[in-house]
A and B are shown apart, each in its own frame.
Chain A
Amino acid sequence: MIAEKMTQAFQWTYNENDQEFSLHGSLRPQRADELSNCISALEQSVSNVSGMFYVNVRRLVRMNNVAFHALGCKILDLVRTRTDLKVHVTTSSVVGWATRKFAVLETMSDKITVSEYDNEFYPGQSFVEDSAFIHVLRTQTKLTWRHEKDLLAKHGLKPGMQVADICCGIGDFAVLLQKEFAPDRLVALDHSRASLDYARRVASDFGVRGIDYVFGDAADMLLEDNQFDFVTCRHSLQVFDRPERILKELFRICKPGGRVYVTNEKNSHCLGEPRGESIQWTYTEVAKLWHHFDMDIEIGPKSRRLLIEGGFEDVSIGSFMVTNTDGNPQDFADVIESWKKLFADTMATQRGDDEAFKEKFAKGFDDHIFAALHPKGYAGWPIWVASGRKPL
Protein backbone atom coordinates (compact mmCIF):
# COMPACT_ATOMS: atom_id res chain seq x y z
CA MET A 1 0.00 0.00 0.00
CA ILE A 2 2.78 2.40 0.75
CA ALA A 3 4.68 1.23 -2.29
CA GLU A 4 3.24 4.14 -4.25
CA LYS A 5 5.94 6.43 -5.47
CA MET A 6 5.65 9.57 -3.46
CA THR A 7 9.19 10.59 -2.81
CA GLN A 8 10.08 13.55 -4.95
CA ALA A 9 13.51 13.91 -6.40
CA PHE A 10 15.97 16.20 -4.72
CA GLN A 11 18.02 18.66 -6.76
CA TRP A 12 20.07 21.77 -6.39
CA THR A 13 21.06 24.52 -8.79
CA TYR A 14 23.41 27.44 -8.57
CA ASN A 15 22.81 30.76 -10.25
CA GLU A 16 26.09 32.59 -10.42
CA ASN A 17 24.59 35.93 -11.45
CA ASP A 18 22.43 36.06 -8.39
CA GLN A 19 24.93 34.29 -6.10
CA GLU A 20 22.05 32.03 -5.28
CA PHE A 21 22.14 28.34 -4.38
CA SER A 22 18.69 26.72 -4.59
CA LEU A 23 17.46 23.45 -3.17
CA HIS A 24 14.41 21.72 -4.62
CA GLY A 25 12.24 18.75 -3.82
CA SER A 26 12.27 16.38 -0.90
CA LEU A 27 15.27 15.93 1.36
CA ARG A 28 15.00 13.17 3.93
CA PRO A 29 18.29 11.27 3.90
CA GLN A 30 19.21 8.55 6.35
CA ARG A 31 22.78 9.76 6.74
CA ALA A 32 24.42 13.12 6.25
CA ASP A 33 26.94 11.68 3.78
CA GLU A 34 24.11 11.21 1.30
CA LEU A 35 24.23 14.97 1.00
CA SER A 36 27.94 15.20 0.39
CA ASN A 37 27.56 16.01 -3.32
CA CYS A 38 25.17 18.80 -2.55
CA ILE A 39 27.36 20.16 0.22
CA SER A 40 30.44 20.14 -2.02
CA ALA A 41 28.46 21.88 -4.75
CA LEU A 42 27.52 24.50 -2.20
CA GLU A 43 31.14 24.87 -1.09
CA GLN A 44 32.23 25.16 -4.67
CA SER A 45 29.61 27.82 -5.40
CA VAL A 46 30.40 29.90 -2.38
CA SER A 47 34.13 29.82 -2.99
CA ASN A 48 33.80 32.47 -5.72
CA VAL A 49 31.43 34.66 -3.79
CA SER A 50 32.02 37.50 -1.45
CA GLY A 51 29.37 39.63 0.18
CA MET A 52 25.92 38.09 0.22
CA PHE A 53 25.41 34.45 -0.62
CA TYR A 54 21.77 33.49 -1.12
CA VAL A 55 20.40 30.10 -0.18
CA ASN A 56 16.96 29.58 -1.62
CA VAL A 57 14.84 26.82 -0.05
CA ARG A 58 11.51 27.98 -1.44
CA ARG A 59 11.00 24.83 -3.40
CA LEU A 60 12.24 22.49 -0.73
CA VAL A 61 9.08 20.68 0.20
CA ARG A 62 10.33 18.22 2.79
CA MET A 63 13.43 18.18 4.91
CA ASN A 64 14.31 16.01 7.88
CA ASN A 65 16.61 16.90 10.73
CA VAL A 66 19.51 14.90 9.33
CA ALA A 67 19.52 17.19 6.33
CA PHE A 68 18.86 20.32 8.33
CA HIS A 69 21.68 19.50 10.69
CA ALA A 70 24.09 19.04 7.78
CA LEU A 71 23.01 22.15 5.92
CA GLY A 72 22.59 24.35 8.99
CA CYS A 73 26.04 23.47 10.32
CA LYS A 74 27.58 24.14 6.90
CA ILE A 75 26.00 27.58 6.66
CA LEU A 76 27.07 28.47 10.16
CA ASP A 77 30.55 27.21 9.47
CA LEU A 78 30.75 29.38 6.34
CA VAL A 79 29.89 32.65 8.04
CA ARG A 80 32.21 31.85 10.92
CA THR A 81 35.24 31.04 8.81
CA ARG A 82 34.74 33.60 6.07
CA THR A 83 34.74 37.14 7.41
CA ASP A 84 33.74 38.57 4.02
CA LEU A 85 30.60 36.47 3.75
CA LYS A 86 26.98 36.83 4.76
CA VAL A 87 24.23 34.37 4.06
CA HIS A 88 20.61 35.06 3.34
CA VAL A 89 18.11 32.20 3.37
CA THR A 90 14.83 32.58 1.50
CA THR A 91 12.00 30.32 2.62
CA SER A 92 8.49 29.89 1.31
CA SER A 93 5.29 31.04 2.96
CA VAL A 94 3.60 28.03 1.45
CA VAL A 95 5.77 25.35 3.06
CA GLY A 96 4.49 25.42 6.63
CA TRP A 97 7.58 24.31 8.53
CA ALA A 98 10.28 26.09 6.55
CA THR A 99 10.43 29.56 8.06
CA ARG A 100 10.36 28.38 11.66
CA LYS A 101 12.97 25.75 11.00
CA PHE A 102 15.41 28.05 9.25
CA ALA A 103 14.78 31.00 11.55
CA VAL A 104 16.98 29.39 14.23
CA LEU A 105 19.98 30.08 12.00
CA GLU A 106 19.44 33.80 12.58
CA THR A 107 19.76 33.29 16.30
CA MET A 108 23.16 31.67 15.81
CA SER A 109 24.87 34.47 13.88
CA ASP A 110 24.07 38.02 12.93
CA LYS A 111 25.63 37.32 9.54
CA ILE A 112 22.73 35.06 8.68
CA THR A 113 19.34 36.44 7.73
CA VAL A 114 16.19 34.51 6.92
CA SER A 115 13.11 35.83 5.20
CA GLU A 116 9.93 34.41 3.84
CA TYR A 117 9.21 34.87 0.18
CA ASP A 118 5.77 35.89 -0.91
CA ASN A 119 5.16 35.99 -4.59
CA GLU A 120 4.83 39.61 -5.51
CA PHE A 121 1.34 40.51 -6.46
CA TYR A 122 0.36 42.48 -9.49
CA PRO A 123 -0.71 46.13 -9.05
CA GLY A 124 -4.37 45.20 -9.22
CA GLN A 125 -4.13 42.83 -6.27
CA SER A 126 -5.46 45.37 -3.79
CA PHE A 127 -8.56 45.50 -5.94
CA VAL A 128 -9.27 41.76 -5.85
CA GLU A 129 -8.73 41.78 -2.09
CA ASP A 130 -10.72 44.91 -1.32
CA SER A 131 -13.97 43.98 0.36
CA ALA A 132 -15.70 46.97 -1.24
CA PHE A 133 -15.23 45.32 -4.63
CA ILE A 134 -16.18 41.83 -3.72
CA HIS A 135 -19.72 42.23 -4.94
CA VAL A 136 -18.34 43.36 -8.31
CA LEU A 137 -16.10 40.34 -8.54
CA ARG A 138 -19.11 38.19 -7.79
CA THR A 139 -21.13 39.99 -10.45
CA GLN A 140 -18.30 39.44 -12.91
CA THR A 141 -18.38 35.70 -12.26
CA LYS A 142 -22.16 35.66 -12.46
CA LEU A 143 -21.96 37.28 -15.91
CA THR A 144 -19.32 34.91 -17.25
CA TRP A 145 -20.93 31.82 -15.71
CA ARG A 146 -23.98 32.09 -17.99
CA HIS A 147 -21.66 31.40 -20.90
CA GLU A 148 -19.13 29.17 -19.24
CA LYS A 149 -21.59 26.71 -17.75
CA ASP A 150 -22.21 25.21 -21.19
CA LEU A 151 -18.70 25.78 -22.45
CA LEU A 152 -17.13 23.87 -19.56
CA ALA A 153 -19.04 20.75 -20.56
CA LYS A 154 -17.98 21.23 -24.19
CA HIS A 155 -14.38 21.46 -23.05
CA GLY A 156 -14.72 18.12 -21.29
CA LEU A 157 -15.78 18.80 -17.70
CA LYS A 158 -18.04 16.04 -16.39
CA PRO A 159 -19.50 15.22 -12.98
CA GLY A 160 -17.38 13.07 -10.71
CA MET A 161 -14.02 14.42 -11.86
CA GLN A 162 -11.01 15.52 -9.85
CA VAL A 163 -10.89 19.26 -10.46
CA ALA A 164 -8.57 22.12 -9.49
CA ASP A 165 -9.26 25.83 -9.88
CA ILE A 166 -5.93 27.63 -9.73
CA CYS A 167 -5.93 31.34 -8.83
CA CYS A 168 -9.47 30.86 -7.58
CA GLY A 169 -9.80 34.36 -6.14
CA ILE A 170 -12.80 34.70 -3.85
CA GLY A 171 -13.87 31.19 -4.76
CA ASP A 172 -17.27 31.93 -6.27
CA PHE A 173 -16.50 30.05 -9.47
CA ALA A 174 -15.55 26.99 -7.41
CA VAL A 175 -18.91 27.13 -5.64
CA LEU A 176 -20.74 27.24 -8.98
CA LEU A 177 -18.62 24.34 -10.24
CA GLN A 178 -19.34 22.34 -7.13
CA LYS A 179 -23.07 22.82 -7.50
CA GLU A 180 -23.31 22.28 -11.24
CA PHE A 181 -20.71 19.58 -11.88
CA ALA A 182 -20.45 17.76 -8.55
CA PRO A 183 -16.76 16.97 -8.82
CA ASP A 184 -15.35 14.10 -6.83
CA ARG A 185 -12.70 16.42 -5.51
CA LEU A 186 -12.37 20.17 -5.91
CA VAL A 187 -9.22 21.99 -4.89
CA ALA A 188 -9.26 25.79 -5.20
CA LEU A 189 -5.89 27.48 -4.80
CA ASP A 190 -4.93 31.12 -4.47
CA HIS A 191 -2.08 33.15 -3.02
CA SER A 192 -4.30 35.66 -1.29
CA ARG A 193 -5.11 34.77 2.29
CA ALA A 194 -7.80 37.45 2.38
CA SER A 195 -9.58 35.98 -0.65
CA LEU A 196 -9.32 32.45 0.75
CA ASP A 197 -10.74 33.56 4.08
CA TYR A 198 -13.63 35.11 2.25
CA ALA A 199 -14.09 31.99 0.09
CA ARG A 200 -14.19 29.70 3.13
CA ARG A 201 -16.64 31.95 4.90
CA VAL A 202 -19.00 32.04 1.92
CA ALA A 203 -18.81 28.28 1.45
CA SER A 204 -19.63 27.70 5.09
CA ASP A 205 -22.41 30.33 5.15
CA PHE A 206 -24.01 28.79 2.10
CA GLY A 207 -23.55 25.27 3.43
CA VAL A 208 -21.39 24.33 0.45
CA ARG A 209 -19.16 21.48 1.49
CA GLY A 210 -16.29 19.68 -0.08
CA ILE A 211 -14.30 22.52 -1.64
CA ASP A 212 -10.72 22.37 -0.50
CA TYR A 213 -9.47 25.97 -0.47
CA VAL A 214 -5.70 25.99 -0.23
CA PHE A 215 -3.03 28.63 0.06
CA GLY A 216 -0.37 28.32 -2.59
CA ASP A 217 1.74 29.93 -5.23
CA ALA A 218 0.58 29.05 -8.72
CA ALA A 219 4.17 29.25 -9.93
CA ASP A 220 5.32 26.60 -7.44
CA MET A 221 2.46 24.49 -6.20
CA LEU A 222 2.75 21.87 -3.50
CA LEU A 223 0.13 19.82 -5.34
CA GLU A 224 1.53 16.56 -6.61
CA ASP A 225 1.92 15.64 -10.29
CA ASN A 226 -0.79 14.05 -12.44
CA GLN A 227 -3.69 14.43 -10.03
CA PHE A 228 -6.52 16.24 -11.75
CA ASP A 229 -8.85 15.40 -14.65
CA PHE A 230 -9.69 19.05 -15.21
CA VAL A 231 -7.64 22.09 -14.20
CA THR A 232 -9.11 25.57 -14.59
CA CYS A 233 -7.30 28.89 -14.43
CA ARG A 234 -9.49 31.87 -15.16
CA HIS A 235 -8.50 35.45 -15.89
CA SER A 236 -5.18 34.84 -14.27
CA LEU A 237 -2.47 33.95 -16.79
CA GLN A 238 -2.72 37.65 -17.56
CA VAL A 239 -1.54 38.76 -14.11
CA PHE A 240 1.83 37.01 -14.36
CA ASP A 241 4.83 38.27 -16.24
CA ARG A 242 5.62 34.72 -17.34
CA PRO A 243 2.31 32.96 -18.04
CA GLU A 244 4.07 29.98 -19.58
CA ARG A 245 5.55 29.17 -16.19
CA ILE A 246 2.08 28.98 -14.62
CA LEU A 247 0.87 26.89 -17.53
CA LYS A 248 3.73 24.48 -16.89
CA GLU A 249 2.47 24.01 -13.34
CA LEU A 250 -1.09 23.49 -14.58
CA PHE A 251 0.26 20.89 -16.99
CA ARG A 252 2.19 19.17 -14.22
CA ILE A 253 -0.74 18.68 -11.85
CA CYS A 254 -3.09 17.58 -14.67
CA LYS A 255 -3.45 13.84 -15.26
CA PRO A 256 -2.26 12.51 -18.61
CA GLY A 257 -5.42 12.53 -20.71
CA GLY A 258 -6.92 15.29 -18.53
CA ARG A 259 -7.53 18.85 -19.68
CA VAL A 260 -6.38 22.30 -18.69
CA TYR A 261 -8.94 25.05 -19.25
CA VAL A 262 -8.02 28.74 -19.29
CA THR A 263 -10.00 31.89 -19.87
CA ASN A 264 -8.35 35.17 -20.79
CA GLU A 265 -9.25 38.59 -22.05
CA LYS A 266 -8.20 40.89 -24.81
CA ASN A 267 -9.24 44.16 -23.31
CA SER A 268 -8.53 46.27 -26.37
CA HIS A 269 -11.46 44.42 -27.98
CA CYS A 270 -14.00 45.62 -25.46
CA LEU A 271 -16.61 47.52 -27.39
CA GLY A 272 -19.75 49.60 -27.20
CA GLU A 273 -22.11 51.81 -29.15
CA PRO A 274 -22.81 54.67 -28.98
CA ARG A 275 -19.49 56.41 -28.28
CA GLY A 276 -17.53 53.54 -29.79
CA GLU A 277 -14.42 55.54 -30.56
CA SER A 278 -13.82 56.82 -27.06
CA ILE A 279 -14.46 53.34 -25.67
CA GLN A 280 -11.98 51.80 -28.04
CA TRP A 281 -9.33 54.38 -27.25
CA THR A 282 -9.63 53.74 -23.54
CA TYR A 283 -9.40 49.97 -23.78
CA THR A 284 -6.39 50.21 -26.05
CA GLU A 285 -4.86 52.27 -23.27
CA VAL A 286 -5.80 49.56 -20.76
CA ALA A 287 -3.68 47.11 -22.72
CA LYS A 288 -0.73 49.52 -22.66
CA LEU A 289 -1.19 50.11 -18.94
CA TRP A 290 -0.97 46.38 -18.18
CA HIS A 291 1.98 46.08 -20.47
CA HIS A 292 3.73 48.78 -18.45
CA PHE A 293 3.42 46.49 -15.41
CA ASP A 294 4.74 43.48 -17.37
CA MET A 295 1.34 41.87 -17.65
CA ASP A 296 -0.58 41.01 -20.76
CA ILE A 297 -4.30 41.69 -20.66
CA GLU A 298 -4.36 40.80 -24.36
CA ILE A 299 -3.57 37.10 -23.87
CA GLY A 300 -7.04 35.86 -24.90
CA PRO A 301 -6.38 34.86 -28.53
CA LYS A 302 -2.78 33.92 -27.67
CA SER A 303 -4.06 31.13 -25.43
CA ARG A 304 -4.03 28.67 -28.32
CA ARG A 305 -0.34 29.24 -28.97
CA LEU A 306 0.47 29.10 -25.26
CA LEU A 307 -1.28 25.75 -24.88
CA ILE A 308 0.28 24.24 -28.00
CA GLU A 309 3.74 25.42 -26.99
CA GLY A 310 3.07 24.16 -23.47
CA GLY A 311 2.88 20.60 -24.80
CA PHE A 312 -0.90 20.19 -24.88
CA GLU A 313 -2.72 18.37 -27.68
CA ASP A 314 -6.26 18.57 -29.01
CA VAL A 315 -6.21 22.28 -28.23
CA SER A 316 -9.55 23.95 -28.63
CA ILE A 317 -10.30 27.68 -28.47
CA GLY A 318 -13.35 29.86 -28.72
CA SER A 319 -14.70 33.10 -27.38
CA PHE A 320 -17.82 34.59 -25.94
CA MET A 321 -18.95 38.10 -25.26
CA VAL A 322 -20.43 39.24 -21.99
CA THR A 323 -22.86 42.03 -22.89
CA ASN A 324 -25.34 44.42 -21.40
CA THR A 325 -28.15 42.37 -22.97
CA ASP A 326 -27.26 39.24 -20.99
CA GLY A 327 -29.35 40.23 -18.03
CA ASN A 328 -29.60 43.35 -15.97
CA PRO A 329 -27.52 46.03 -17.79
CA GLN A 330 -26.72 47.57 -14.43
CA ASP A 331 -24.62 44.50 -13.56
CA PHE A 332 -22.50 45.15 -16.62
CA ALA A 333 -22.26 48.84 -15.73
CA ASP A 334 -21.15 48.01 -12.17
CA VAL A 335 -18.30 45.93 -13.47
CA ILE A 336 -17.09 48.71 -15.75
CA GLU A 337 -17.37 51.25 -12.94
CA SER A 338 -15.01 49.16 -10.84
CA TRP A 339 -12.58 48.81 -13.74
CA LYS A 340 -12.59 52.58 -14.10
CA LYS A 341 -11.50 52.88 -10.50
CA LEU A 342 -8.83 50.21 -10.77
CA PHE A 343 -7.37 51.20 -14.15
CA ALA A 344 -7.96 54.94 -14.53
CA ASP A 345 -7.24 55.67 -10.90
CA THR A 346 -5.21 53.10 -8.87
CA MET A 347 -3.02 51.67 -11.63
CA ALA A 348 -2.71 54.88 -13.70
CA THR A 349 -1.62 56.72 -10.56
CA GLN A 350 0.95 54.03 -9.85
CA ARG A 351 2.31 54.50 -13.36
CA GLY A 352 2.57 58.24 -12.72
CA ASP A 353 -0.05 59.44 -15.22
CA ASP A 354 -1.12 63.08 -15.05
CA GLU A 355 -4.64 64.23 -14.26
CA ALA A 356 -5.51 65.19 -17.84
CA PHE A 357 -4.64 61.72 -19.07
CA LYS A 358 -6.51 60.03 -16.25
CA GLU A 359 -9.57 62.09 -17.05
CA LYS A 360 -9.55 61.09 -20.72
CA PHE A 361 -8.81 57.50 -19.72
CA ALA A 362 -11.79 57.49 -17.34
CA LYS A 363 -14.05 58.99 -20.00
CA GLY A 364 -13.97 55.81 -22.11
CA PHE A 365 -15.21 53.76 -19.14
CA ASP A 366 -17.99 56.27 -18.54
CA ASP A 367 -18.90 55.98 -22.22
CA HIS A 368 -18.89 52.19 -21.96
CA ILE A 369 -21.32 52.49 -19.05
CA PHE A 370 -23.38 54.96 -21.07
CA ALA A 371 -23.60 52.47 -23.92
CA ALA A 372 -24.50 49.66 -21.54
CA LEU A 373 -27.36 51.60 -19.96
CA HIS A 374 -28.57 53.25 -23.17
CA PRO A 375 -31.95 51.84 -24.20
CA LYS A 376 -30.67 51.17 -27.70
CA GLY A 377 -27.04 50.70 -26.75
CA TYR A 378 -24.80 47.67 -26.84
CA ALA A 379 -21.71 47.06 -24.73
CA GLY A 380 -19.47 44.02 -24.72
CA TRP A 381 -16.54 42.38 -22.95
CA PRO A 382 -15.02 39.53 -24.97
CA ILE A 383 -13.41 36.51 -23.33
CA TRP A 384 -11.42 33.69 -24.87
CA VAL A 385 -11.79 30.17 -23.61
CA ALA A 386 -9.18 27.58 -24.47
CA SER A 387 -8.35 24.12 -23.31
CA GLY A 388 -5.89 21.41 -24.17
CA ARG A 389 -5.29 17.78 -23.30
CA LYS A 390 -2.17 16.59 -21.56
CA PRO A 391 -0.80 13.73 -23.69
CA LEU A 392 -1.11 10.21 -22.30
Chain B
Amino acid sequence: MQAASEGMSPNSDLPQMIHLDLDIKEFCSDWTHCDLMSGYLARMVCHNRLDSLLFSNLYSSALNELLEAVYRTHGVSGKLECVVQRRGNLDRIILTFPADDETYRVYEEAIGKVNADNAEALYLEALFADQEPGASLGLLELGVDYDAKLAIGRCEDGRMRLTADLALEDETE
Protein backbone atom coordinates (compact mmCIF):
# COMPACT_ATOMS: atom_id res chain seq x y z
CA MET B 1 0.00 0.00 0.00
CA GLN B 2 1.31 3.44 -0.72
CA ALA B 3 0.21 6.79 0.56
CA ALA B 4 0.71 9.78 -1.66
CA SER B 5 -0.33 13.15 -0.42
CA GLU B 6 -1.29 16.56 -1.80
CA GLY B 7 -1.95 17.27 -5.46
CA MET B 8 -5.13 17.14 -7.45
CA SER B 9 -7.04 14.06 -8.34
CA PRO B 10 -7.83 13.65 -12.00
CA ASN B 11 -11.45 12.86 -11.15
CA SER B 12 -12.42 15.77 -9.07
CA ASP B 13 -11.83 19.41 -8.49
CA LEU B 14 -11.39 19.26 -4.73
CA PRO B 15 -7.95 19.45 -3.12
CA GLN B 16 -6.72 15.98 -2.33
CA MET B 17 -5.61 15.00 1.15
CA ILE B 18 -4.76 11.33 1.04
CA HIS B 19 -4.56 8.63 -1.58
CA LEU B 20 -4.37 4.98 -0.53
CA ASP B 21 -3.85 2.27 -3.02
CA LEU B 22 -4.00 -1.48 -2.39
CA ASP B 23 -4.85 -4.76 -3.99
CA ILE B 24 -8.50 -5.66 -3.53
CA LYS B 25 -7.50 -9.22 -2.57
CA GLU B 26 -5.17 -7.93 0.10
CA PHE B 27 -7.87 -5.61 1.41
CA CYS B 28 -10.40 -8.44 1.48
CA SER B 29 -8.07 -10.85 3.25
CA ASP B 30 -9.17 -9.53 6.63
CA TRP B 31 -12.44 -7.93 7.72
CA THR B 32 -10.74 -5.73 10.30
CA HIS B 33 -9.09 -3.80 7.45
CA CYS B 34 -12.34 -1.83 7.11
CA ASP B 35 -12.23 -0.74 10.72
CA LEU B 36 -8.48 -0.07 10.73
CA MET B 37 -8.49 1.90 7.51
CA SER B 38 -11.47 4.02 8.46
CA GLY B 39 -10.04 4.71 11.91
CA TYR B 40 -6.64 5.51 10.48
CA LEU B 41 -7.92 7.86 7.79
CA ALA B 42 -10.36 9.54 10.17
CA ARG B 43 -7.50 10.33 12.50
CA MET B 44 -5.41 11.70 9.65
CA VAL B 45 -8.06 14.11 8.43
CA CYS B 46 -9.65 15.28 11.69
CA HIS B 47 -6.98 17.63 12.94
CA ASN B 48 -8.10 21.04 11.87
CA ARG B 49 -11.81 20.52 12.29
CA LEU B 50 -13.99 22.38 14.76
CA ASP B 51 -14.13 19.36 17.06
CA SER B 52 -11.60 16.74 16.06
CA LEU B 53 -13.00 13.94 18.20
CA LEU B 54 -16.57 14.33 17.08
CA PHE B 55 -15.48 14.67 13.48
CA SER B 56 -13.18 11.70 13.54
CA ASN B 57 -15.84 9.51 15.10
CA LEU B 58 -18.40 10.44 12.44
CA TYR B 59 -15.93 10.23 9.59
CA SER B 60 -14.76 6.82 10.66
CA SER B 61 -18.35 5.56 10.89
CA ALA B 62 -19.23 6.82 7.43
CA LEU B 63 -16.06 5.61 5.74
CA ASN B 64 -16.36 2.25 7.45
CA GLU B 65 -19.79 1.67 5.94
CA LEU B 66 -18.42 2.45 2.48
CA LEU B 67 -15.46 0.14 2.95
CA GLU B 68 -17.65 -2.65 4.31
CA ALA B 69 -19.86 -2.33 1.22
CA VAL B 70 -16.82 -2.70 -1.04
CA TYR B 71 -15.49 -5.56 1.06
CA ARG B 72 -18.72 -7.45 0.47
CA THR B 73 -19.42 -6.45 -3.09
CA HIS B 74 -16.58 -6.03 -5.59
CA GLY B 75 -15.11 -7.54 -8.73
CA VAL B 76 -12.58 -10.35 -8.69
CA SER B 77 -9.21 -8.68 -9.07
CA GLY B 78 -7.60 -5.29 -9.39
CA LYS B 79 -6.80 -2.33 -7.28
CA LEU B 80 -8.79 -0.58 -4.60
CA GLU B 81 -8.03 3.09 -4.40
CA CYS B 82 -9.24 5.34 -1.67
CA VAL B 83 -8.95 9.05 -2.19
CA VAL B 84 -10.09 11.61 0.33
CA GLN B 85 -10.52 15.27 -0.54
CA ARG B 86 -11.78 18.36 1.16
CA ARG B 87 -12.87 21.87 0.51
CA GLY B 88 -14.21 23.87 3.45
CA ASN B 89 -16.84 21.75 5.13
CA LEU B 90 -17.24 19.35 2.24
CA ASP B 91 -15.43 16.05 2.57
CA ARG B 92 -15.36 13.78 -0.43
CA ILE B 93 -14.43 10.10 -0.30
CA ILE B 94 -13.80 8.34 -3.61
CA LEU B 95 -13.41 4.58 -3.68
CA THR B 96 -12.36 3.04 -6.98
CA PHE B 97 -12.42 -0.75 -7.21
CA PRO B 98 -12.84 -3.63 -9.63
CA ALA B 99 -16.43 -4.25 -10.63
CA ASP B 100 -18.05 -6.59 -13.14
CA ASP B 101 -21.53 -5.81 -14.44
CA GLU B 102 -23.22 -7.69 -11.65
CA THR B 103 -21.28 -5.73 -9.00
CA TYR B 104 -22.06 -2.47 -10.69
CA ARG B 105 -25.75 -3.34 -10.77
CA VAL B 106 -25.79 -3.93 -7.00
CA TYR B 107 -24.47 -0.42 -6.40
CA GLU B 108 -26.74 1.05 -9.02
CA GLU B 109 -29.71 -0.40 -7.23
CA ALA B 110 -28.49 0.78 -3.83
CA ILE B 111 -27.82 4.33 -5.03
CA GLY B 112 -31.24 4.32 -6.67
CA LYS B 113 -32.76 3.67 -3.25
CA VAL B 114 -30.63 6.34 -1.58
CA ASN B 115 -31.77 8.91 -4.10
CA ALA B 116 -35.39 7.84 -4.03
CA ASP B 117 -38.03 10.08 -2.50
CA ASN B 118 -38.91 7.44 0.04
CA ALA B 119 -35.28 6.73 1.00
CA GLU B 120 -36.13 6.95 4.68
CA ALA B 121 -38.83 4.29 4.44
CA LEU B 122 -36.50 2.09 2.41
CA TYR B 123 -33.85 2.52 5.09
CA LEU B 124 -36.22 1.40 7.85
CA GLU B 125 -37.37 -1.50 5.71
CA ALA B 126 -33.78 -2.64 5.15
CA LEU B 127 -32.93 -2.13 8.80
CA PHE B 128 -35.72 -4.28 10.15
CA ALA B 129 -35.73 -6.90 7.41
CA ASP B 130 -35.37 -10.49 8.57
CA GLN B 131 -32.38 -11.37 6.48
CA GLU B 132 -28.88 -10.05 7.15
CA PRO B 133 -28.33 -6.61 5.69
CA GLY B 134 -27.03 -6.33 2.14
CA ALA B 135 -24.81 -3.72 0.53
CA SER B 136 -27.53 -1.12 0.47
CA LEU B 137 -28.19 -0.76 4.20
CA GLY B 138 -24.96 1.06 4.98
CA LEU B 139 -25.32 3.29 1.93
CA LEU B 140 -28.93 4.05 2.80
CA GLU B 141 -27.91 5.06 6.28
CA LEU B 142 -25.28 7.40 4.85
CA GLY B 143 -27.89 8.99 2.64
CA VAL B 144 -30.60 9.26 5.27
CA ASP B 145 -28.71 9.86 8.51
CA TYR B 146 -25.56 11.59 7.31
CA ASP B 147 -27.22 13.35 4.42
CA ALA B 148 -24.39 12.09 2.21
CA LYS B 149 -24.58 12.59 -1.54
CA LEU B 150 -23.63 9.31 -3.17
CA ALA B 151 -22.81 8.68 -6.79
CA ILE B 152 -21.26 5.93 -8.91
CA GLY B 153 -19.57 5.85 -12.28
CA ARG B 154 -17.58 3.56 -14.55
CA CYS B 155 -13.83 4.02 -15.08
CA GLU B 156 -12.13 3.32 -18.37
CA ASP B 157 -10.09 0.47 -16.91
CA GLY B 158 -13.20 -1.51 -16.05
CA ARG B 159 -13.31 -0.50 -12.41
CA MET B 160 -16.06 1.54 -10.81
CA ARG B 161 -16.04 4.60 -8.66
CA LEU B 162 -18.16 5.22 -5.60
CA THR B 163 -18.18 8.83 -4.46
CA ALA B 164 -19.58 10.13 -1.18
CA ASP B 165 -19.86 13.82 -0.36
CA LEU B 166 -20.22 14.50 3.34
CA ALA B 167 -20.72 17.65 5.37
CA LEU B 168 -20.18 16.24 8.82
CA GLU B 169 -19.68 19.36 10.85
CA ASP B 170 -22.76 21.17 9.64
CA GLU B 171 -24.75 18.22 10.82
CA THR B 172 -23.36 18.25 14.31
CA GLU B 173 -23.78 21.94 14.92
Contacts and interface: CB of A to CB of B under 8 A. Distances in A.
Q: Do A and B bind each other?
A: yes
Nearest to A224: B43
Interface in A1-53: 1-4, 6-7, 26, 28, 30-32
A4, A107, A214, A222 pick with most chain B CB within 10 angstroms: A214
Interface residues of A, number: 42
Nearest to A213: B51
Interface string B33-55: 11111011000000100111111
Contact of B58 (A69, A97, A104, A216): A97
B60 A62 contact: yes
Given A7-B36, A30-B31, A65 B57 contact: no
B51 A62 contact: no
A321 interface: no
B165 interface: no
Query: What's the dominant secondary structure at chain A's contact region?
Result: mixed
B32 A61 contact: no
A110 B172 CA distance: 26
B64 A96 contact: no
B58 A96 contact: yes
B73 interface: no
A2 B36 contact: yes
A73 B51 contact: no
Contacts of A189: 53
A96 B34 contact: no
B57 A61 contact: yes
Contact of B1 (A1, A94, A101, A196): A1
A2 B41 CA distance: 9
Interface string A303-322: 00000000000000000000
A151 interface: no
B104 to A, nearest CB: 22
Q: How large is the interface on B (under 10, 10 to 19, 20 to 34, 35 or more residues)?
A: 35 or more
Contacts of A26: 35
A212 B132 contact: no
A97 B128 contact: no
A32 B60 CA distance: 20
Given A6-B39, A222-B57, A214 B52 contact: yes
Given A65-B138, A214-B52, A100 B145 contact: yes
A197 B44 CA distance: 24
B24 interface: no
A223 interface: yes
A95 B58 CA distance: 8
Contact of A96 (B35, B47, B172): B172
Given A1-B1, A104-B127, A108-B128, A97 B36 contact: no
Interface in B95-143: 123-124, 127-128, 130, 132-133, 137-138, 141
A222 B55 CA distance: 11
Contacts of A76: 128
Contacts of A66: 68, 132-133
A101 to B, nearest CB: 7
A104 B119 CA distance: 14
B45 to A, nearest CB: 13
Contacts of A187: 52
A377 interface: no
B35 A28 contact: yes
A97 B145 contact: yes
Given A31-B132, A212-B47, A214-B51, A62 B61 contact: yes
A366 B114 CA distance: 65
Contacts of B36: 2-4, 6-7
B65 interface: yes
A148 to B, nearest CB: 26
B138 A215 contact: no
A33 to B, nearest CB: 9
A339 interface: no
Contact of A72 (B39, B51, B128): B128
Interface string B54-86: 110110110011001000000000000000000
6 contacts: A3-B36, A26-B35, A63-B61, A64-B138, A73-B130, A101-B145
Interface of A: 1-4, 6-7, 26, 28, 30-32, 61-66, 68-69, 72-73, 76, 94-97, 100-101, 104, 107-108, 187, 189, 196, 200, 212-216, 222-223
Given A64-B61, A69-B137, 18 more contacts: A2-B33, A2-B40, A3-B36, A7-B32, A28-B68, A32-B132, A66-B68, A69-B127, A69-B132, A94-B54, A96-B54, A96-B168, A97-B61, A100-B145, A104-B127, A215-B53, A215-B54, A222-B53
The 4 closest A-B pairs by CB, nearest first: A30-B31, A96-B58, A2-B36, A214-B53
